A and B are shown apart, each in its own frame.
Chain A
Amino acid sequence: MKGAARDAALAVLALVVILGLLVGLARTGTLAVPPPEGNRPLADKFLKTTYNWTSDLWSASPEVVTSILWDYRGLDTVYETGVFFLAIIGAIALVRGIKTPSLRWRGMSVVARTVSKITLVAIPVVAASIALHGHLTPGGGFQGGSVFAVASLLAIVALGTGFLTGRGWSKDRLLAFRTLGLLLIALVAVSALILALLKGEMGYIMQNQWKPWARVGLGYLFGGGNGILYSGSLFFLNLAEFLAVSAGLSLVFILMGLPWESLKGGASE
């Protein structure tokens, strides 16, 4: 009986709280902070220049977030990628000298393995679509790479630690792909500047499109005329970031999948 009385009291309390919140919301509008009437000046600037070819500041991409990340504040994202690279280097430094474990997690039951193999085909497809459409739809290299790393994680958990390493996904090779991604980003970052220097013009690091005072650009249409929009450097940067993040996060997940027994002995070169 006591439990029932407590339940009733809690139900009444919940009802009062919900009603109070509803009244509060109804009285103040949707939130206490009034929603702004228009765009803020900075947002207005971005929205009106990203896909506006009459503007000198356009980045040839209808996806404003990607334009900001890889063009307007592109250098910031390059440094972020560098920080992420250093974090992975740190993770590798932690487990240096550890041999590939003899004791292996053999994966889950037949049911889980079968469905995981079906899903393992679909995840990289979604990841590639997110990364390669990063300049057209929400998404991009980092997001696509993170989705790809989910496939690695699934393979480690459901199919066992031997599944990836048995297919040549070694620490060194993944690190090589990760470094290759970073190198490609660096290359794209300076490509417009190198073009400008060769032509004897003005140019910038991380420059994407042609500007009246810096007359070099990476183009934006593949095939000219009614070609495919690739938005200059944005597509290549997304591709390189996808490669870097896929390899980097997969590497970290493989390291995290190391069994405890292999870590206990301590590092020995």
Chain B
Amino acid sequence: MLGALAYYLGMILLIGGGIVDVLAAIGMNRFRNFYLRLHAATVGAIWGAVYPLFGLGLISLSLSALGSVRFYIAGIAFTTAIFLLLTAPVGSHAIAQGAHRSREAVPEPIVVDRLAEDEGVIGGA
């Protein structure tokens, strides 16, 4: 019962991750400026790598035919997923901040720009 649940949950994460990753790839091509494309890239990193890895771990845990190997696979998959979950958004954050600070890209559809306010304060002080 629990094994079947893990299997189907893992499959949903794996297939859902694949679908959203394709959507993110389309977004990389279609979005019109740097920050929007960065959003698509981060969606791809999380849905295309983190969720499928969690799914892979769950699937391998549910496959008792793999013997004790399934715990190694699941452990490596979960560890990698957690580290990607930690580092991928920070990478995007650093890239976005670098682009903003160097004024290479204009944040175009924008409601409020707190970062520019911060930088303005630092520049003025």
Contact = CB atoms under 8 A, between A and B. Distances in A.
Interface of A: 108-109, 111-112, 115-116, 118-119, 122, 158
Contacts of A122: 83
B64 interface: no
21 contacts: A108-B94, A108-B97, A109-B93, A109-B94, A109-B97, A111-B90, A111-B93, A112-B90, A112-B93, A112-B94, A112-B97, A115-B86, A115-B87, A115-B90, A116-B90, A118-B86, A119-B83, A119-B86, A119-B87, A122-B83, A158-B94
Contacts of A115: 86-87, 90
Q: What are the 9 A-B residue pairs with the smallest beta carbon separation, nearest first?
A: A115-B90, A112-B94, A111-B93, A112-B90, A115-B86, A108-B94, A109-B97, A111-B90, A112-B93
Nearest to A158: B94
Nearest to B91: A112
Interface in B25-61: none
B115 to A, nearest CB: 9
Contacts of B93: 109, 111-112
A11 to B, nearest CB: 14
Contacts of B83: 119, 122
Given A109-B93, A111-B90, A112-B97, 8 more contacts: A108-B94, A109-B94, A109-B97, A111-B93, A112-B94, A115-B86, A115-B87, A119-B87
A158 B93 CA distance: 12
A165 B66 CA distance: 49
A116 B83 CA distance: 11
A138 to B, nearest CB: 15
Nearest to A108: B94
A119 B79 CA distance: 12
A158 B90 CA distance: 11
Contacts of A111: 90, 93
Nearest to A118: B86
A122 B97 CA distance: 25
Nearest to B97: A109
A147 to B, nearest CB: 14
A122 to B, nearest CB: 7
A72 to B, nearest CB: 30
Interface string B83-113: 1001100100110010000000000000000
Nearest to A109: B97
A118 B86 CA distance: 9
Nearest to A113: B90
Contacts of A119: 83, 86-87
A14 B86 CA distance: 37
A115 B82 CA distance: 12
Contacts of A158: 94
Contacts of B87: 115, 119
A115 B97 CA distance: 15
Contacts of B90: 111-112, 115-116
Contacts of A108: 94, 97
A116 B87 CA distance: 8
A109 B97 CA distance: 8
Most A CB contacts (10 A, CB to CB) among B83, B87, B90, B97 go to: B90
A118 B85 CA distance: 12
A111 to B, nearest CB: 5
Nearest to A157: B94
A4 B118 CA distance: 44
Contacts of B97: 108-109, 112
Nearest to B98: A108
